[in-house]
Amino acid sequence: MRGIIEKLPYLHALGIEILWLSPIYKSPFIDNGYDIADYQAIDPLFGTMDDFDELLAKAKTLGIAIIMDLVVNHCSDQHDWFKQACTDPNCEEASYFYFRESVNGHAPNNLRANFGGCVWDKVPGHNNLYYCHFFAKEQPDLNWFNEKLRRRIYQMINWWLDKGVAGFRVDAIMSIGKDPTFPDFPQDALGDGMCACSAMNLQCNEATNRFLNEMQEQIFRPRQAFTVGEVFNLQAENLGKFIGDNGNFSTIFDFGPHEHVCGHCAYYAYEKLSVAQLREEIFKSQRAAADYGFLAPVIENHDEPRGVSCYLPPMWHNSLGAKALGTISMLLRGIPFIYQGQELGMLNTRFNSIEEFQDLQSKEEYRRCLRQGLSVSEALDVLNAHARDHARTPMPWNEGPHAGFTSGTPWMRLQQDYQQVNVKAQLADADSVLRHYQKLVSLKKDPALQTVLTYGSCTELNTPYANVIAYTRKLAMQSVVVAANFDEGCATLTLTRRGTLRLTSGQVFINENQLTLQPGSSAVLVLA
């Protein structure tokens, strides 16, 4: 947290107004802090509660609100609740978890955990009793059907809000919806006789929504907390339950493109999106949310590879591609999030062995690749395309040792381009990706455009080009056109009327109502 405090001026210069912190709670760090041992304590790895209070205060002076990561589908097996439950399975705390007896000498059902293996492990010291974990075995799931547990979670949330946090990013929240009878499910495509636990979640959205509605009505709405939900596989007709005036959250992340990539049983089956498919997913989400509220457009986050590497053709894995993709994402209707390093145009890291990966999911996917018959080299190629570790390497501040992130030993290797792609170098370059992101944020806040870029409709512009993404933001008589060309050749768009260029990247030309974008270029125009 001392490091975050030190970098607050950088974040302020970037123009961000909300800072989301991944978990900083006390944790054994089996899953990067998403296994929480104490929800109301700061882990010494990050600093002290005094440091946190100072961070809150100094961020506030710069107009930056802090939101925490709310991880309440599960906790750590080192949490006092779970320790007490294991000591006495008849105590109140045991009812905070899903404890079930074996069925015919086996685990209660055939669900597969998100990190591989069965969702059931034996309760320590009790041979015929199992506990449920949809993630790692060190992350026992919390029983949201228990009202006493929900009361304790709400007390904890209020405690953080009383400290001054502005709200929460709500982690893995769709996993709280379960069928407490835990029936077996038809085996899925992995062919191991098991079924992904997400299949149960999909069938239990009604229970999930009931719990979320209660949390919104009792905590978030009365406290005016800002919340962003991690919500997957949501049908368009259900968006109104999650966003907007009557929704359970202020916003939810738009995972449309990511879900398209991940619509398979394992990394080895993932397919790279074309630009046309990316465009389709973007505007499908925009159309779905138009009548309800704001989504949160994202290019990448801590659970995804770098967006430029993931979504763009190899020829645009560079600063041109990063700026053009940023232009498209940042000006969509919604509340955009910039993930650390995205504003530098960071690409995926080249990992050389499975030992260089830290993520539990990566290690499980590597095993799946080998079981599928892929060679070690082929398995590494799969991870180098899709692993979550790409977004978890240290932030490159300069070209020095450990990229200026630490004088100690970082938890992961550095991204290979850090000596060229770092904050210091890009601040010194007026044409850098970082400088372009600063201009994008500034444009969104421009008093002349802020209203249309916030509340205006977002309508796709149809073009004859497979690799062009373009749209219009419109409110009353004001229209803004946003376009990016990811093709190998020039693209010329005919606009309804003449416009004034407000921001460009690459080479862009305008002649009357004709807009021409050279390959890799982007433009923002205000129509006359």
Q: Mark whether 487 and 347 lie in a shared domain.
A: no
Q: Which of 357, 383, 416 is the last residue of a domain?
A: 357
Q: Mark whether 200 and 325 lie in a shared domain.
A: yes
Let me know if residue 219 belongs to a domain.
yes
Are 428 and 452 a contacting pair, CB within 8 Å?
A: no
Length of the chain: 528
- The one catalytic residue in 138, 141, 230, 343 is 230
Give the pLDDT score at 233.
87
Let me know if residue 188 belongs to a domain.
yes
Are 204 and 179 a contacting pair, CB within 8 Å?
A: yes
User: How do 251-254 and 296-297 pair as beta strands?
Assistant: parallel
Give the CATH number for residue 98.
3.90.400.10
Q: Mark whether 116 and 261 lie in a shared domain.
A: no
| Residue 457 identity (one-letter amino acid) | S
Give the CATH number for residue 160.
3.20.20.80
Let me know if residue 362 belongs to a domain.
no
Q: Mark whether 93 and 62 lie in a shared domain.
A: no
* Phi and psi angles of residue 499, each rounded to the nearest 5 degrees, phi first: -140, 165
- The one catalytic residue in 43, 171, 254, 487 is 171
Are 238 and 232 a contacting pair, CB within 8 Å?
A: no
Q: Mark whether 127 and 177 lie in a shared domain.
A: no
Indicate the SS3 state at residue 162: helix
Q: Which of 66, 99, 132 is the last residue of a domain?
A: 132
Q: Which H or E element spans position 76?
A: none
Q: Supply the DSSP string of 513-524, one letter for each residue.
A: TEEEE-TT-EEE
Let me know if residue 389 belongs to a domain.
no
Q: Mark whether 284 and 170 lie in a shared domain.
A: yes
Are 436 and 331 a contacting pair, CB within 8 Å?
A: no
Q: Mark whether 165 and 289 lie in a shared domain.
A: yes
Let me know if residue 171 belongs to a domain.
yes
- Closest C-alpha among 267, 216, 258 to residue 234: 258
Structure-token match 């190899």, residue found: 314
Q: Mark whether 115 and 154 lie in a shared domain.
A: no
Q: Supply the DSSP string of 366-402, one letter for each residue.
A: HHHHHHTT--HHHHHHHHHHH-GGGGGSPP--SSSGG
Let me know if residue 432 belongs to a domain.
no
Encode the chain (528 residues) as per-residue pLDDT tens digits.
999 999 999 999 999 999 999 999 999 999 999 999 999 999 999 999 999 999 999 999 999 999 999 999 999 999 999 999 999 999 999 999 999 999 999 999 999 999 999 999 999 999 999 999 999 999 999 999 999 999 999 999 999 999 999 999 999 999 999 999 999 999 999 999 999 999 999 999 999 999 999 999 999 999 999 999 999 988 899 999 999 999 999 999 999 999 999 989 999 999 999 999 999 999 999 999 999 999 999 999 999 999 999 999 999 999 999 999 999 999 999 999 999 999 999 999 999 999 999 999 999 999 999 999 999 999 999 999 999 999 999 999 999 999 999 999 999 999 999 999 999 999 999 999 999 999 999 999 999 999 999 999 999 999 999 999 999 999 999 999 999 999 999 999 999 999 999 999 999 999 999 999 999 999 999 999
CA 63/CA 53 separation, integer angstroms: 15
Let me know if residue 126 belongs to a domain.
yes
| Domain range for 501 | 456-527
Residues 6 or more apart whose Cβ sits within 8 Å of residue 50: none
Q: Tokens in use for 261?
A: 């990539």
Give the CATH number for residue 465.
2.60.40.1180
- Residue 268: HSE in the Cβ half-sphere, 13 Å Cα cutoff: 20
CA 248/CA 234 separation, integer angstroms: 13
Q: Which of 331, 357, 383 is the last residue of a domain?
A: 357
Provide the CA 390 distance to its chain's centre, in angstroms. 13
Indicate the SS3 state at residue 40: strand
Angle at 63 between CA 58 and CA 69, to 5 degrees: 75
Tell me the sheet residues that pair with 474.
Answer: 457, 479
203 burial type by CB count under 10 A (0-12 exposed, 13-18 middle, 19+ buried): middle
Tell me the sheet residues that pair with 523.
Answer: 483, 504
Q: Mark whether 25 and 102 lie in a shared domain.
A: no
Q: Mark whether 281 and 266 lie in a shared domain.
A: yes
Are 526 and 497 a contacting pair, CB within 8 Å?
A: no
Tally the domains of the chain.
Answer: 3
CA 523/CA 506 separation, integer angstroms: 9
CA 488/CA 460 separation, integer angstroms: 21
- Closest C-alpha among 460, 527, 455 to residue 278: 460
Q: Mark whether 43 and 91 lie in a shared domain.
A: no
CA 252/CA 243 separation, integer angstroms: 7
Indicate the SS3 state at residue 167: strand
Q: Mark whether 169 and 267 lie in a shared domain.
A: yes
Structure-token match 């009790």, residue found: 126
Let me know if residue 413 belongs to a domain.
no
Q: Is 230 a catalytic residue?
A: yes
CA 272/CA 291 separation, integer angstroms: 30
CA 233/CA 255 separation, integer angstroms: 9
CA 152/CA 163 separation, integer angstroms: 17
